Amino acid sequence: MRETPRPQGIAGESGAEPPQHRTGRALAHSTGALGSGTPHRSDGRSPQTPRGARQSDPVGCLGTTPPVPGRPTFLLYAVGLLSLLTFALVTWQVAVDGPLVGLDERIERRIVGHGPRPLTELLADLGNLTVALPALAASVAYTLWREGRGRRYEVLGVVLAMAVVPALVVPLKALLDRPGPLTAATGYYPSGHAATALVAYCGAAILLTPYPRRAWAMPAALVLTLATGIGLVLRGYHWPLDVIGSWSLCTALLVISSSCTRRSSGRTATGCSGPS
């Protein structure tokens, strides 16, 4: 039995042509071909997220800026604001001889002289310029050696904060004229030693903390700052409020300095130098 012959197509119809070899698979990875690694759409429109459409950021610089998480800015500002409020409250109490001053003096009279004298003297000496400044200078030198100009604004901010300490503390001492715990001499609020210790040690920690295996820097700085305050109070060099006032003032100072240097560093990072 003969098979019914299949109808032949009319000349010009595509069905009449012999099958063609498909080269789509062979060209699957060629540049610009359909089905290749370059994304295409069947309607000829560009893909939603084409690789070639990405713009470098900042404009004119090579590469893109990755979304690197920054420091907790809100927490930083909250610490600065709380420090300023604490300093304002303590200073006001000292100026008007308020209830906190009476409590402060009663606490000091109960604890002054406690502890081994050599140890408390050593702790108080941590706030001396001859002890605190070399620690800050070493961290500044290390940062400049590691980074060069890369973190110059952070270094400058810490150095300026240290330089501003006497400009803030000395006028306040003269203005408030508070007598010391064991002497009739005046000019004890706020404590210069406590201020020097906080700015020097915590400023050094700010510079060292970003480096690997330097996470201990800030806890160590806080311990040294606290130890300095304890030594000053136990030796009778300052009232507790003298130390607290210095800590709150200089914490706000470091927050302001850190905020300003972050903005300066950010503006520098967004710019780039090109051929003139």
pLDDT mean by block of 10 residues, the chain; 276 residues: 47 48 48 48 52 44 40 80 96 96 95 94 96 95 86 90 95 95 93 97 92 89 97 96 97 89 57 40
User: pLDDT tens across 231-266, in order?
Assistant: 999 999 999 999 999 999 999 999 998 887 766 555
In a domain, 195, yes or no: yes
- Residue 35 has a pLDDT of 46
In a domain, 48, yes or no: no
169: left (phi over 0), alpha (psi -120 to 50) or beta: alpha
CA distance 183 to 173: 15
Q: What is the pTM of this model?
A: 0.70
Q: Which amino acid is at 264?
A: S
User: Could you tell me the CATH number of the domain that includes residue 92?
Assistant: 1.20.144
In a domain, 256, yes or no: yes
In a domain, 62, yes or no: no
Q: Which residues constitute the domain of residue 139?
A: 73-269
Domain count, the chain: 1
Q: Which residues contact 208 (CB under 8 A, 6 or more apart)?
A: 139, 142, 143, 214, 217
In a domain, 112, yes or no: yes
In a domain, 247, yes or no: yes
Q: What is the largest CA-CA distance in the chain?
A: 133
Distances (CA, A) of 159 to 151, 203, 270: 13, 8, 24
User: pLDDT tens across 81-107, in order?
Assistant: 999 999 999 999 999 999 999 999 999
In a domain, 144, yes or no: yes
